[in-house]
Amino acid sequence: MNQPIFLATGNAHKAREFAAMFAAAALPWTIESAAALGGMPPVEETANTFAGNAMLKARALRAKAPPEALVLADDSGLEVDALGRAPGVFSARYAGPGATDAENTAKLLQELDGFPPRQRRARFVCVLALIDAAGGEHTFLGSCRGRIGTALAGAGGFGYDPVFYPDGQTQTYAELGDEVKNRLSHRGKALEKLFAYLRARAPQVAAPETTPTLK
């Protein structure tokens, strides 16, 4: 019987997404949302790094989880070189608390107004934080470099996807489609490292033939 990994999020969509990715990876763990433990406790994301904030969320849920359980959390965002790596850990609230994706993206484009392409370099970053049954803490970093466009392009994805062009691509994250985006994405790369770690704990599990599809 598969063992649960509790995901430190109150977002049901994210929990379903991670559950599907784990199922596709054919690992002997399944994702359970924080709702299974009575809900995600409030966490003030006070760290100045993605790894720090991811671990804060993981620790908060670990306090509610069974002793033998694993807990997983993630934190991600966009870093723009010309803006001193802003919005960074403030990516989800760049335009202020409660800001929408559209408002955050609009502020980003405004801040970069007039910057030539060579000064619009950026990268997406994702850090997954895992706390194992023994209390060991592990982080897995994934990143994707690219540049910020001058206008929205594409209807897919979310957040800053419509303005981010990965290196080597002429389309934004929002235009590429799931299969291509997930092969290049920061989250996909972080997950590859996490899955490799988990397979080392369960060597009888064969690696999947393809990278799991993120929705």
Residues annotated as catalytic (active site), given as ranges: 75
- The Cα–Cα gap between 120 and 165 comes to 10
Task: Measure the CA–CA gap between 6 and 127, rounded to whole angstroms.
Answer: 16
Contact between residue 24 and residue 44 where contact means Cβ atoms under 8 Å apart: no
Q: What is the 3-state secondary structure (H, E, C) of 149-168?
A: CCCCCCCCCCCCHHHEEECC
What is the rounded CA–CA span in Å between residue 29 and residue 7? Answer: 12
Helix (H) or strand (E) holding 77: strand 70-80
